[in-house]
Structure 1
Amino acid sequence: MIEIPSNLEGKHFSLYRLEDKLKPRGYTIGSNWEYDHGYFDYLIDDRVGYQFLRIPFRAIDGQLDSLGTTVEIGRPLLLSHKYQRGLDEEADTGLLSGMTNQFQEPVDKDASFPKEYIDLGKSLVQELEDLFL
């Protein structure tokens, strides 16, 4: 895990506005959200496990499944997850592997992050700052 300090940290936004701007750019709300916090994830690479930029947020008023919820942005980070291969050979292709892998325990949930993607992660955070600030 590599944290990327950002001017977005601590800023408040409508969750609806974030979703409206981020989803068309390839961000998804991570599957591990709760009613009071969640993550926007941007998949950087998935050839050997998954490398992604994660933008954490927490609800300030309301719950994440409520209309009009305001959230506070946390510190962005780069994560790498490597999943077990061969548990389900039938599902180890493209979209189906992602559906299966989400239920598998990672081989290394804090795998080292490939250096060639660190600058990309920083530039993605800069794009978000330009978009929202």
Structure 2
Amino acid sequence: MKFEKIGLEGVKVDLGRLDDLMYEHGIIREEQWDYERVTYDKKFELKEGVFYLRIQGYAVEGDVGAHKAVIELMTPLLGKHYYPHGVEYGDEEQFPNSLVKQCESILSDIKKKIESIVQ
């Protein structure tokens, strides 16, 4: 599921600030990066299954490995994990309404905080 109406796609923010902001919301980067891209995930374990809110971005300036980069965010995703195959993000997936609303709230808060940083 794509969160296209949140307005995070195309937003540019400093990597250090982005790491801190995501961490405040329990969304972590861990080792999911290379020198040009980052991936942040938040795991939700519900009775309906395991789900991941994923926010990806790529460096438009600098180097992620050096911790000095400006990241342009992509459209956030919500996916369901299927063992052993991985996470599926397709339109045919079913997501609990309460989870979708919780993710929208988190993303909205992130957008507001990024806007206050960028301006």
In the other structure, the counterpart of 1:3 is 2
CA contact (8 A) 2:2 2:76 kept: yes
**Amino acid of the residue matched to residue 3 of structure 1?**
K
Q: For 1:26-65, what aligned pairs fall within 5 Å after superposition?
A: 26-29=26-29, 31-45=31-45, 49-65=49-65
In the other structure, the counterpart of 1:87 is none
Residue 39 (structure 1) shift: 1.0
Q: For 1:7-18, what aligned pairs fall within 5 Å after superposition?
A: 7-18=7-18
Q: CA RMSD in A?
A: 2.1
Q: Among the aligned pairs, what percent are the same residue?
A: 22
- Take 2:18 and 2:66, find their aligned partners in 1: how far apart are those partners? 14
- Take 2:106 and 2:23, find their aligned partners in 1: how far apart are those partners? 14
Normalising by structure 1, we get a TM-score of 0.71
Structure with max Cα Rg: 1
Normalising by structure 2, we get a TM-score of 0.78
Q: Does 1:110 align with 2:88?
A: yes
Structure 1 stretches of 4+ with a deviation exceeding 4 A read 46-49
User: Which residues of structure 2 form unaligned runs of 5+?
Assistant: none
Q: Does 1:130 align with 2:112?
A: yes
- Take 1:48 and 1:32, find their aligned partners in 2: how far apart are those partners? 26
